[in-house]
Structure 1
């Protein structure tokens, strides 16, 4: 984590995003995408271990130091896909690779499947396809989302008396992380408020999805990917307990590497970050 990192702002036509910039100007172009409710510091351990790459680690909209979407706008997966494409356009990157963790890995696959001519390779960490739902579940799913939207006006973020309490809460939340990982995410994710600290993340990020892709839709995106794809699966991660996930990988154009660790294995400790880097460094040097 001693490598030089630059804080940048990206003024897209519809929103301003924040990002960390790593690596040499002439390095291989990579956009790094974090998971749900995380931020660009998700790559604070890993990015310095990937020499020769020009990494733009984004804060997704509504996360970290990036702006929140306008009132009435949504945080659907395809909205993030459009954001990433706009980032590449602003950077002048016609071709680029994607390094994605969890939700960031899902967004990476959707973009690579939809626009294979733009993406050179995919490096994925414990994420591949979105949660799916079948047609008969759609009315109930939309109803759930609409009710949650109505209730959002009365929902308040928790306020923590000090940073340490916020860190401890993040350690226990969805996608539990080590204390060091929680501290890194808190550096970029917390803001002072009356009474203590709260997370910068937009409350709308916790709303349920109004519509999910079917399993067939999700698989179609994976099969539409044309670039080399390497997936690191955490042995104690969220995909390891997903029913039928191993069978789902059969026949997919994805090279899978299993490593010890939890969902945030690339951030929890230096050993995990090094193991993931050792997996991805040869991958990024392939012809």
Structure 2
């Protein structure tokens, strides 16, 4: 059953029509049934950014940003609860989902995702951008909203705001191995990764997130995160860029992060999963409280759930986002 489900998804994806052209949200209908997300391609210098759009083109969508090694499928359960209020454009970051990988020899740098937000905003000629973000996407979203406070209508973050604070000695100790792994990964870009059955992939993804993504939720990420194996027709492989596993996350100066978060001034909603280990370190909590102190339009909520609470229990998040829209007259 699981094999047939994914096979149907992959076949459907092959038959989807995508538009590489710029979308005019005022004049052009992207699809006739708003309940079915539309595949969209945004051209970039190294290829394209893939995205899926819920809702119609009559109004500017919210830009939804996923977490590290996830993809736009992370919004598959929440977006249907929200798009009637505002359309949602969920992208795959470079190297993730259906988006193009960076060219050989290049590596993924988290601050580049901030520049990607700026690129998308300018590409669509949006006056202000609205952000719905999770994990890595939430960190990128806060960086953008803090750097360009007059260009963000609102910012919603799920389970992350700033990068977690790590022991610098452990970070430095890990760098030599990471750099060597990066070198190896660069030589294997054309190689097909190991393949698995759908049941095996589901368990691997579930365990790889420390059980944060519920077993029944993995299917939403597998739609865009797997491909059929050319070696075994009954197996599939994880299709994201393997270089993502070895990215160098550079710890940032705490004074720099503090100066950044003090600039967050737009209406902001932060939802923290109580069962998530992330954003719980002393520095992350300190920065959260600094935002609360400096931004009168900062709403903070704690809900039972894992790091992927928005995917596993979307109603909990929707019940906070919809009142947030109303409170600040965002719809």
TM-score normalised to structure 1 length = 0.89
Structure 1 residues 173, 134: CA separation in 2 closer, same or farther (over 3 Å shift)?
Answer: closer
Q: Corresponding residue for 2:322? A: 281
Q: Cα gap change, 1:136/1:183 in structure 2, threshold over 3 Å: closer, same or farther?
A: closer
1:161 corresponds to 2:200: no
Change (3 A) 1:11 1:235: same
- Deviation at 1:136? 7.8
Give the C-alpha shift of residue 83 in structure 1: 1.4
- 1:267 positional shift: 0.8
Q: 1:239 to 1:261 in 2, by over 3 A?
A: same
The answer as to whether partners of 1:9 and 1:17 remain within 8 angstroms in 2 is yes
**Which of 73, 96, 106 in structure 2 is aligned with 1:41?**
73
Superposed displacement of residue 189, structure 1: 0.7
Flag structure 2 segments of 5+ consecutive residues without an equivalent.
1-33
Count of equivalent residues: 283
Structure 1 residue aligned with 2:308, among 264, 269, 272?
264
Report the Cα distance in structure 1 between the residues aligned to 2:281 and 2:132, rounded to whole angstroms. 22
Alpha carbons 1:142, 1:210 under 8 Å: kept? no
The alpha carbon displacement at 1:158 in A equals 5.2
SS class of match (1:60): coil
1:280 deviation in Å?
0.7
Which among 218, 225, 228 is matched to residue 189 of structure 1? 225
How far apart, CA to CA, are the structure 2 residues paired with 1:258 and 1:9?
A: 35
2:121 to 85, 88, 103: 88
- Partner of 1:227 in structure 2? 266
SS at match of 2:61: strand
The offset of 1:74, in angstroms, is: 2.2
1:202/1:215 CA distance change after superposition, 3 Å: same
Q: Which deviates more from structure 2 when the two are superposed, residues 51-60 or residues 9-18?
A: 9-18
Q: Which moved more, 1:198-207 or 1:5-14?
A: 5-14
Deviations along 1:108-166, one digit per CA (max 9) or x if unpaired, are 00111112222111011001102346888886565454333233357777523321211
Question: Does the CA contact (< 8 Å) of 2:273 and 2:302 recur in 1?
Answer: yes
Who is 2:209 aligned against? Answer: 174
Contact 2:94 2:102 in 1 (8 A): yes
**Contact 2:133–2:158 at 8 Å: present in 1 too?**
yes
2:95 is matched with which residue?
A: 62
Task: Report the counterpart of residue 161 of structure 2 in structure 1.
Answer: 128
> How big is the alpha-carbon RMSD for the aligned residues of Structure 1 and Structure 2?
2.5
Question: Where does the alignment leave 5 or more consecutive residues of structure 1 unmatched?
Answer: none
Change (3 A) 1:204 1:125: same
Please say which of residues 218-227 and 256-265 is displaced more in the overlay: 218-227
**C-alpha distance in 2, partners of 1:63/1:138?**
25
More strand by share: 1
Superposed CA offset, 1:177-200 (max 9, x none)? 112211111111100122321111
What CA distance in whole angstroms lies between the structure 1 residues aligned with 2:261 and 2:226? Answer: 35
Matching residue within 98, 104, 107 for 1:71: 104
